[in-house]
Amino acid sequence: MATTKKKSKQAEKSRVYKNLIGGKWAAAHSRKTFENRNPADTGDLVGIFPASDARDVDAAVAAARAAFPGWSRTPAPRRAEILYRTGELLAKRKEEYARQMTREMGKVLEETRGDVQEAIDTAFYMAGEGRRMFGQTTPSELPSKFAMSVRMPVGVCGMIAPWNFPMAIPSWKLFPALVCGNTCVIKPAEDTPLSTLNLVQTLMDAGLPPGVVNIVFGFGPQAGAPLVEHPQVDAVSFTGSSEVGRLVGQTAAGLFKPCSLEMGGKNAMIVMEDANLDLAVDGALWGVFGTTGQRCTATSRILLQKKIAKKFTERFVAAAEKLRIGNGLDKSVQVGPQVNLQQVETSERYVAIALDEGAKLLTGGKRLKGKSYATGYFFTPTIFAGVKPPMRIAQEEVFGPVVALLEFDSFDEAIEIANCIHYGLSTAIYTRDVNRAYRAMRELEAGITYVNAPTIGAEVHLPFGGVKKTGNGHREGGNAALDFYTHWKTVYVDYSDKLQRAQIDE
């Protein structure tokens, strides 16, 4: 939302938050702020946050740089103990943080509890890495010489996080970076600043030293871009759109700094004629409309073998029309709002594009504006049939509760359709044929493939990321995350007490 100098009476009564720099809370240098409002009820002001700029980024990076020597020399098991205590504290605060998350980004309470749980799981997993982070020991080719490799922290890490998983994804970035000995500056999404603040507050309460993690709130051009460009930031981790990710990657490449990009998806779920249709329909509902379709792994294309297409479609549309839409704090609600007006307008725009291309609207396709929805950003679960692979509705990421149904004849055709996009994040296949399942695992061009499950549901101890325009080869999650937040140092110890010239001397 636009920054304003004047605050309403309601805003004055709400809590005003500040940046975290060097362990202290500080207002933005500009003194500008922005409002964080509940997308299910825009009259509910969650908080007021600083609209930071390059001066605030400079201060945060300086604090992270000052904290790096002490933190990087702290033994990894000691760093890990702080993460473990963080996990324990998050578990105690789970309900409180989940409710605040639902207020600021809209997804139903059951899902925000899962978001917090993912941060808990990541804390415990990465705490374990504090006693591993294994390198290699290997024989030297020369006598009386020892050879090994060790992981070293990269330095100050700049992090830009999205709004759809405002605690889970920051935990994917912060926790492995911290256990490896790095210090961090994180810019949360402007739609969900409170959840990231809650995560970092928990780290501080668990004993994290001042300056090891710093938070700069604000918008991409004013705060995100200076963080990426900063000469004292040694590595950048970004999660967001492919369009912005391209700019982040180009900037980082020009400065010779490592950059991890996790971006968009146009994820396909294949339903074969031998599939358990009830299971497939349940999976589609969750994959398409979970988080109101606002996941990079959301099921946005369903590929149906023609023999079962009609039966599946009838069941799926009927089930979608029964979904209860509303405020995510209501226990009866299954689908919350979209995060802001811009996302609703994007969904509306793609509905118009799909109709213009000749797709058939089976249900939904409009913003809800009745009395119960007047103060929120609600969009109906939307299903298109008659979609052809070249259509934009089958190629471009909508990031809303909108799905395209496509039909195919053979397994080979299904694989071809699934792969004919620029993205490659997540895929799924429903079948009872083990041979097809294993072929799909091999042939689907994606970083993740599910068998008899939807395209969402990643677990923290496995690598997460994609191919093509979804990412640039790095992975979050599991010990694969350590590869980004460390660099390898090879160490040779020669105890022969004489000069040995490796390949020259025999």
Q: How confident is the model at residue 372 (pLDDT cuts 50, 70, 90)?
A: confident
Q: Is the pLDDT of residue 186 over 60?
A: yes
Q: How confident is the model at residue 505 (pLDDT cuts 50, 70, 90)?
A: confident
Q: What is the DSSP string of 202-270?
A: HHHHTTPPTTSEEE--S-IIIIIHHHHH-TT--EEEEES-HHHHHHHHHHHHHTT--EEEE----EEEE
Among 50, 79, 315, CA closest to 212: 79
Mean pLDDT of 110-135: 97
Residue found under tokens 């471009």: 396
Average pLDDT, the chain: 96
For the stretch 250-259, pLDDT in tens is 999 999 999 9
Q: Is the pLDDT of residue 283 over 50?
A: yes
- Which DSSP helix (H) or strand (E) runs through 187? strand 183-187
Q: What is the pLDDT of residue 252?
A: 97
Q: What is the pLDDT of residue 370?
A: 87
Q: What is the pLDDT of residue 3?
A: 42
CB burial string 58-81: b at 16+ within 10 A, e below:
bbbbbbbbebbeebbeeebeebbe
Report the alpha-carbon distance of residue 431 to residue 437 in Å, rounded: 7
Q: Is the pLDDT of residue 445 over 70?
A: yes
Could you give the percent of the chain with pLDDT greater than 90?
95
Q: What is the pLDDT of residue 11?
A: 41
Domain(s) of CATH 3.40.605.10: residues in the chain: 11-263+485-489
Could you give the percent of the chain with pLDDT greater than 70?
97
Q: How would CATH label the architecture of 267-451? A: 3-Layer(aba) Sandwich (3.40)
* 11-263+485-489 classified as CATH 3.40.50.1000: no
Q: Is the pLDDT of residue 463 over 90?
A: yes
Domain(s) of CATH 3.40.309.10: residues in the chain: 267-451
DSSP structure class, residue 371: G
Q: Is the pLDDT of residue 105 over 90?
A: yes
Which residues does the annotation mark as catalytic?
262, 296
Q: What is the pLDDT of residue 5?
A: 40
Q: What is the pLDDT of residue 13?
A: 52
* Residue 496, SS3 per DSSP: coil
Q: How confident is the model at residue 9 (pLDDT cuts 50, 70, 90)?
A: very low
Strand pairing class (41-50; 33-38): antiparallel
Higher pLDDT, 186 or 502: 186
Q: Is the pLDDT of residue 2 over 60?
A: no
Q: What is the pLDDT of residue 14?
A: 66
Q: Does the predicted TM-score (pTM) go above 0.85?
A: yes
Q: Is the pLDDT of residue 419 over 60?
A: yes
Among 184, 166, 187, 188, CA closest to 176: 184
Q: What is the pLDDT of residue 288?
A: 98
